[in-house]
Amino acid sequence: MTISISIRKMTDGDLQEADRIMRLAFGTFLGLPDPMAFMGDADYIQTRYHFDPSGALVAEADGRIAGSCILMNWGSVGILGPLTVRPDLWDRGVARHLLEASMSIFERWQVKHAGLFTFSQSARHIYLYQKFGFWPGFLTAIMSKPVTGTIKQREHDESKTNQDSLSWSTCSKLSSSEKTSLLSRCAELTNDIYPGLNLQKEIESVENQHLGDTVLLQNGGGELAGIAICHCGPRTEAGSGNCYVKFGAAKFGQRSFEYFGCLLDACESFARSKGLSNLIAGVNTGRRSAYRMLLEKRFHTQIQGVAMHRPDEQGYDTPDKYVLDDWR
Nearby residues of 14 by Cβ (< 8 Å), 6 or more positions away: 58, 65, 68
- For residue 224, what are the CA distances in angstroms to 111, 217, 319? 26, 6, 21
| Cα 105 from Cα 69, distance rounded (Å) | 11
Is residue 310 a part of any domain in this protein?
Answer: yes
- Give the model's confidence band at 2: pLDDT under 50 very low, under 70 low, under 90 confident, else very high: confident
Do residues 44 and 162 share a domain? Answer: no
Residue 156 lies in a domain: yes
Question: Are residues 312 and 168 part of one domain?
Answer: yes
81 in a structural domain = yes
- Whether 92 maps to a domain, the answer reads yes
Domain holding 152, by residue range, is: 143-324
Q: Are residues 207 and 312 in the same domain?
A: yes
Same domain? For 147 and 107 the reply is no
Indicate whether 158 and 101 sit together in one domain: no
pLDDT over threshold 80, residue 212: yes
Cα–Cα distance between 262 and 158 in angstroms, integer?
14
Out of 92, 111, 130, pick the residue that ends a domain.
111
Q: Are residues 181 and 244 in the same domain?
A: yes
Note whether residue 117 is domain-resident: no
Give the pTM: 0.94
pLDDT at position 178 over 80: yes
144 Cβ neighbours under 8 A, 6+ residues apart: 242, 278, 279, 280, 281, 299, 300, 302
Q: What is the pLDDT of residues 244-282, one digit of tens each?
A: 999 999 999 999 999 999 999 999 999 999 999 999 999
Number of domains in the chain: 2
Given this model, what pLDDT does residue 160 score? 55
Rounded to an integer, the average pLDDT of 13-17 is 98
| pLDDT confidence tier of residue 149, bands split at 50, 70 and 90 | confident
Same-domain status, 49 and 196:
no
45 closest CA partner among 57, 60, 32:
57
Do 200 and 85 have their domain in common? Answer: no
The CATH number linked to 60 is 3.40.630.30
Residue 243 lies in a domain: yes
